[in-house]
Amino acid sequence: MTATGKAFFGYTGAGAQKSSFPMSDTLSRFHFQAVPDRHRPALLWFTGLSGAGKTTLATALQQELIRSHVPVVLLDGDDLRNGLCSDLGFSREDRSENIRRITEVAALFLKEGYVVCVAAIAPYLRDRQAARARIGNDYYLEIFVKCDLQICERRDVKGLYRKERSGQLSNLTGKGSPYEEPYKPDLTIPTDSVTLETGLEMLRVLLRDRQVLYRSNLPYTI
């Protein structure tokens, strides 16, 4: 395993602040449903730079949970940007509204007993803190998908960094727009130095330690 990103993807070469958007406090009053002896609802928010591996990890976990008959949904930031949030741009205010909407959609699934995987950059600390406050600390798990910017640029799965260099794209997170790393994430997965399977195992351990999964047939290798 090296810091080139090859081990993870197989590619070569490579403190609380006031919320910026209003959040109600009603969610904590709902009783989240859980399947007896199997799981309880939880939101896993995968945050990190573009190309870090958020969607890759979230999709792999989603597939494992489906095979284990755990109700799970994946909310991908790019998909939501093309639909529910297609009216939003990339200003500070619009980025905050994007996160607020994703959080509200996740809350609806949580109320029905789902495990929700969100793969979205969510670059600002206070927006992620607001999402945690909205969902509740017992249900919100922040996964920092950590990867060196240069490796993300080399991966460039979506071509965003190439567009940024050519001047076609401005305000790209990590380049023209800031990314504020999590202060105390529930889990950090360094995808520039671990394999996908290792990242999945770290997620399995987290889900068991936080009792999101009770009696689970997910593989356990540690």
pLDDT digits (tens, 9 = 90+) for 127-170: 999 999 999 998 999 999 999 998 998 888 887 777 778 777 67
Residue among 50, 44, 121, 51 at smallest CA distance from 80? 121
Domain ranges of the chain: 41-149+178-209
pLDDT of 36 reads 53
pLDDT tens per residue across span 40-72: 899 999 999 988 999 999 999 999 999 988 999
Which residues sit opposite 189 in a β-bridge? 145
First and final C-alpha spacing in the chain: 18
Q: Which CATH architecture has domain 41-149+178-209?
A: 3-Layer(aba) Sandwich (3.40)
d(CA 10, CA 15): 36
d(CA 208, CA 211): 5
**Average predicted confidence (pLDDT) for the chain:** 80
d(CA 39, CA 211): 7
Question: Is 189 strand, coil or helix?
Answer: strand
